[in-house]
Amino acid sequence: MPHRPTRRDVLAAGASLALASQADGFPSILIRRGQKPIVIASANGNTFKNGGPRTCVEEAFQRMTSGQDVLESLIAGVNIVELDPKETSVGFGGVPNAEGVVQLDSCCMHGPKHWAGGVGALEGVRTPSSVAYKVASETDHHLLVGKGAQDFARDMGFTIEPDLNTESSRRIWLEWKRRADPDHYLNPANRGGGDPALLSMIKDGILDPIHAWGTINCDGINEKGEICGVTTTSGLAFKIPGRVGDSPILGAGLYVDGSIGAVGSTGRGEANLYGCLSFLIVEELRRGAHPKDAGLAAMRRMKQNTVEKRLLDEKGIPNFGMQYYILDAQGRHAAISTSRGQFAVCDESGPHFEDCVFAWG
């Protein structure tokens, strides 16, 4: 009776063929190809270089594909943006709060290790994402805020600076101070349509609307399928001192499940916090949704949750910005936005921009 080859026979034959090919000078047969590595980020992740040779996504991709830990690679990438004084929505030179003080928020999550760290209202440290990483790797906590976060950063060896303003960020704040009610609180009896001073500065071209609510999110997956993410921001421009947005909050500004995917956000943090929408997107991915469809589901939920007239346009559509950057465990990715724009990507073809999916299209 003829011998029927077993699975072990087939694998052994394949291994022998691969070895024989190598001996003959031919490339070996690749029986299994790993995950294609990729890094995605908000658009500023492929814009700012802080005087260096690479953008955030380039730096992260190069480190990640050279064997460095995925999360460490992503943080090295966003450090470039945090340190660049020209980027006024992140890190050093970020637009300050209502009292002229730069307060920074950040969160990071490590998929394979199942841990995370965050900081909120951190003053005096240019790279809050690096402090968030130390919270994750050196403590049993997730989130440290205010003076406690600063004291921890000092204990970890970070330089504490008295002021993170640049000439540009201070000039923007002084212009706002001239235009605004210094109390900076909404009138409970008349909750108007946003901060009139901030909106007038955007209208007059003094402040880019992206940098009024801007942030950077960066997510990556390596050839082993290890997935991580980081979000970092200077928060809402001219916020009430002590305000912490969605960026450092698990499930809102960032959420990673190492077997499912990574999601981060930029935009109006309060709207995102209300629905924990990064967590919702990951759960949609878990049910098998494509990143695009998962992100659109979150946008529908956000629209449903937005009921105050001051936050809606004449068509009943949310009048604020929100973006989600989504990367699943298969390497599929998408960005969903309330405005037409682009996001940053770096893969084997190099750094480039791709179009966001318009949420209301």
Q: Which residue has the tokens 């949420």?
A: 359
DSSP letter string, 312-332: B-TTS-B-S-EEEEEEETTS-
Alpha-carbon distance values, 110 to 113, 181, 253, 287, 325 (Å): 6, 42, 15, 21, 16
Collapse the DSSP code of 46 into the 3-class scheme (helix H, G, I; strand E, B; otherwise coil) and give the result.
helix
User: Rounded to the nearest 10 degrees, how much is the dihedral formed by the CA atoms of 193, 233, 272, 279?
Assistant: 180
Q: Which residues of 305-344 are buried (b: 16+ CB within 10 A; e: fewer)?
A: ebeeeebbeeeeebbbbbbbbbbbbebebbbbbbeebebb
Q: Report the 3 state secondary structure along 256-309.
A: EECCCEEEEEEECHHHHHHHCHHHHHHHHHHCCCCHHHHHHHHHHHHHHHCCCH
Q: What is d(CA 353, CA 361) in angstroms, rounded to the nearest whole number?
A: 20
Alpha-carbon distance values, 96 to 148, 203, 237, 286 (Å): 20, 19, 6, 38
Contacts of 250 (CB under 8 A, 6+ apart): 107, 109, 116, 118, 142, 279
Phi and psi for 313 in degrees, rounded to 5?
Answer: -85, -175
Among all residues, which ones are annotated catalytic? 215
Q: CB–CB of 250/116 below 8 Å?
A: yes
